């Protein structure tokens, strides 16, 4: 048995769904990893519990107001604590061998970039980094020499299915989608969907935002943009197929006609373990696939009439420039409004499309070349999206 040196790790977004799955694996392989820092949003009790369980050196909350609560929860534990955006960036900048980047939304961009700039392996679960600032983000990766490892189950499956081959040998890369909770719903019924309906995902257990994105199929659109940057694959060679069983996560069709696929149970610990142990394999408690018991795997073409968000994302990827950044910002605003019951489900793509049109008309068309440009464009697009709310509310009546 080969003994590997212990790896130092940091977990950004430790209290979210991907973060908790990462924590589970780190506990199971405690003899292989030293946890430098765990970073969360505002849940002091949850982060303190994680820090103690992992014997982390420090715990940091991005919400400065929750700093005293975190310090109190960790009193006597030996774990250092801090709070605030600057503290979160400082924690992300600590040199470690491996970082889980799982802070949801555009809020994850700055700390993830901080981790990228000091190098090491970056397990990327925050797809918005690449949607919001794809070219600039990948330029930072190249400049630092960081190793980017995709954590999204689809991109991780594609990475494994590629088997080290160049993308030049690829004819098509296909991402699979479960179809979400509304796969068999009519357009009329989808329009009446409530947040509790959209949050009932048929196969995955995820955070609220990504679950709503799965219901609109926007998540799959964001993943197309992510795949474009991770694999340097042109938009015309990227595809989506609906696969309700969520067993196949990605397929690679090579130019000789051969197809390889990445299969696994719908458990995020599988792709996380792949990145955590890379290039070695770590054991996980994930269920093993029994194809005979499953019986059949089915596939469908996405319905872009009932799920226009996927169409909008494809158009943003094809248009390039500022479009993906605007798309992502507007979608985050719209999903928040839907979860707050201020708009209907069908108004999510309406706000996204309207924001993209307004941004284009205002001259906001250039792709961000720096992270700072991306954050400024993101803020501008959020303002435009908020201005669409009165019309969306009117249409909801």
Lowest mean pLDDT among 30-39, 69-78, 127-136, 211-220: 127-136
Q: What is the pLDDT of residue 1?
A: 44
Summarize the confidence of residues 101-124 as an average pLDDT.
92
Positive or negative torsion for Cα 55, 61, 62, 68: negative
Residue (of 218, 240, 230) closest to 356 by Cα position: 218
286-324 confidence digits (pLDDT tens): 999 999 999 999 999 999 999 999 999 999 999 999 999
Q: What is the pLDDT of residue 299?
A: 98
Q: What is the pLDDT of residue 395?
A: 54
191-209 confidence digits (pLDDT tens): 999 999 999 988 877 888 9
Q: Where are the alpha helices (DSSP H) in the chain?
A: 17-28, 44-54, 67-73, 85-93, 109-117, 128-144, 153-162, 187-191, 195-198, 208-216, 218-230, 269-277, 291-294, 308-319, 323-339, 347-361, 371-387, 389-396
Q: What is the pLDDT of residue 211?
A: 92
% of the chain beyond a pLDDT of 90: 90
Helix (H, G, I), strand (E, B) or coil at 175: strand
Q: What is the mean pLDDT of the chain?
A: 94
Cis peptide before 294 (omega within 30 of 0): no
Q: What is the pLDDT of residue 308?
A: 97
pLDDT band at 212 (very low <50, low <70, confident <90, very high): very high
CATH architecture of 320-397: Orthogonal Bundle (1.10)
CB 275 within 8 A of CB 215: no
Is the model's pLDDT at 11 over the cut of 50?
yes
CB 359 within 8 A of CB 382: no
Residues of the chain within CATH 1.10.1740.10 domain(s) are: 320-397
Helix (H, G, I), strand (E, B) or coil at 246: coil
CB 51 within 8 A of CB 59: yes
**Length of the chain (residues):** 397
Lowest mean pLDDT among 304-318, 341-355, 383-397: 383-397
47-93 confidence digits (pLDDT tens): 999 999 999 999 999 999 999 999 999 999 999 999 999 999 999 99
Q: What is the pLDDT of residue 127?
A: 86
Please tell me the distance from the alpha carbon of residue 375 to that of residue 363, in angstroms, as a whole number.
Answer: 17
Fold (topology level) of 7-150: Rossmann fold (3.40.50)
Burial of 142 (0-12, 13-18, 19+ CB in 10 A): exposed
Pick 210 or 124 by higher pLDDT: 124
% of the chain beyond a pLDDT of 70: 97
pLDDT band at 14 (very low <50, low <70, confident <90, very high): very high
Is the model's pLDDT at 397 over the cut of 50?
no
Residues of the chain within CATH 3.40.50.720 domain(s) are: 7-150
């Amino acid at each position: 048995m080969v003994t590997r040196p212990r790896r130092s790790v940091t977990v950004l977004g430790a209290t979210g769904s991907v973060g908790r799955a990462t924590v589970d694996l780190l506990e199971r392989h405690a003899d292989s990893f030293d946890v430098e820092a765990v970073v969360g949003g505002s849940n002091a009790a949850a982060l303190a519990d994680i820090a103690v369980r992992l014997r982390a050196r420090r715990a940091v909350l991005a919400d400065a107001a929750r700093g005293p609560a975190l310090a109190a929860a960790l009193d006597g534990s030996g774990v250092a604590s801090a709070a605030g955006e600057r503290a979160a960036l400082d924690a992300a900048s600590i040199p470690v061998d491996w970082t889980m980047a799982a802070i949801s939304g555009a809020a994850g961009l700055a700390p993830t970039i901080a981790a990228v700039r000091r190098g090491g392996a970056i397990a990327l679960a925050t797809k918005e980094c690449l949607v919001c600032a794809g070219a600039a983000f990948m330029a930072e990766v190249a400049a630092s020499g960081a190793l980017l490892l995709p954590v999204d189950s689809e991109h991780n499956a594609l990475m494994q299915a590629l088997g080290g081959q160049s993308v030049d040998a690829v004819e098509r890369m296909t991402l699979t989608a479960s179809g979400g909770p509304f796969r068999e719903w009519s357009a009329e019924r989808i329009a009446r969907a409530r947040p509790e309906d959209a949050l009932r995902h048929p196969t995955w257990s995820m955070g609220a935002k990504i679950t709503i994105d799965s219901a609109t199929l926007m998540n799959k659109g964001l993943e197309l943009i992510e795949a474009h940057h991770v694999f340097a694959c042109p938009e015309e060679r990227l595809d989506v197929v609906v696969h309700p069983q969520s067993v196949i996560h990605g397929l690679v069709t090579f130019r000789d006609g051969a197809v390889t696929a990445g299969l696994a149970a719908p458990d995020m610990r599988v792709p996380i373990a792949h990145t955590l142990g890379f290039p070695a394999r770590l054991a996980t408690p994930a269920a093993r696939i029994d194809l005979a018991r499953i019986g059949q795997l089915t596939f469908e073409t996405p319905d872009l009439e009932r799920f226009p968000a996927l169409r909008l994302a494809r158009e943003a990827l094809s248009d390039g420039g500022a479009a993906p950044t605007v798309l992502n910002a507007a979608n985050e605003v719209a999903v928040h409004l839907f979860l707050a019951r201020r708009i209907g489900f069908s108004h999510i793509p309406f706000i996204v499309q309207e924001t993209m049109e307004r941004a284009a008309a205002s001259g906001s068309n250039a792709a961000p070349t720096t992270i700072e440009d991306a954050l400024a464009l993101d803020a501008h697009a959020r303002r435009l999206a908020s201005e669409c709310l009165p019309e969306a509310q009117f249409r909801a009546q």
